[in-house]
Chain A
């Protein structure tokens, strides 16, 4: 496959090199295989933060990294079509709200703020606490993923 990397030089090579990357067949073929597995790995980390290493924050970053790889290889426009900016902002707000509302619900059911043991979702406080922690982790993951993507979209705008 012919690319025009060799032709460009000087200060203006930024955009043209990126176009060449977009056309690179090795990168594209690799990304087709890698992106689904990165996203799956992110979801695994998100749901297994309570029993293994990782948690919401790491999961959010891994998910964002998967989408960023998609954006870098297939172009920003396509990534923005599949993962729109406005939806990302909504997801970020929802993530923070999940965390804050889980805390507030604990208050309604007679506990302290963020005392997951007081939530009426398990048979005993430890079980409620585990479920509460998992909900909170999902909130963290959503916010981190959405904000990382939003920042990436803003910085990479118009440089596709």
Chain B
């Protein structure tokens, strides 16, 4: 946790996100988002959540990028210029400022990272850390929670992915077959 590195990473992430929204070239936007995901993966790694970081790097920076590129190949590459009324953009800026202010008020009350007395470390976390190895037999607590303690949720997730694949087949493959 080096402060300068954190600030640099967050700055690059924000820069990439802003550029990705601004550009009119969709491929460029997708590649910028891929870089954004990769920076986020590094930030997750810095926060010691290796599993999340791995998922972000594999899904966010890897497969979703190539799937989006494939989607863009089905449509036009460039966004159309649209004329927006200035009032709408001012309203959007105002909404962003208000939302940021609400978040900024909440942030100082958040517990420090890794604080053992934080509320979310008091509920079920001690049980998982103390008992998960003898109860489930796996060393990785994240896997123990995902596959065992929250097995129903993971089954639901797999079913969702399966359903998504079936939906794409029904919607797109039927067209070209």
Contacts and interface: CB of A to CB of B under 8 A. Distances in A.
Interface of A: 11, 14, 49-55, 57-58, 61-62, 64-65, 68, 72, 89, 92-93, 95-96, 99-100, 103, 113-114, 116-117, 122, 125-130, 133, 136-137, 139-140, 143-144, 146-148, 150-152, 154-159
Q: Which of B54, B152, B157 has the most CB of A within 10 A?
A: B54
B140 A52 contact: yes
A61 B137 contact: no
B74 interface: yes
Nearest to A136: B147
A103 B155 contact: yes
Interface of B: 50-51, 53-55, 58-59, 62-63, 66-67, 70-71, 73-74, 76-77, 133-140, 142-144, 146-148, 151-152, 154-155, 157-159, 161-162, 164-165, 168-169, 172-173, 176
A116 B71 CA distance: 40
A11 B165 CA distance: 30
Nearest to A106: B151
Contacts of A159: 70, 73-74
B161 A147 contact: yes
Contacts of A14: 73, 77
Contacts of B136: 116, 126, 129-130, 133
A147 B140 contact: no
A75 to B, nearest CB: 14
Given A116-B148, A154-B172, A51 B138 contact: yes
Contact of A129 (B53, B66, B137, B173): B137
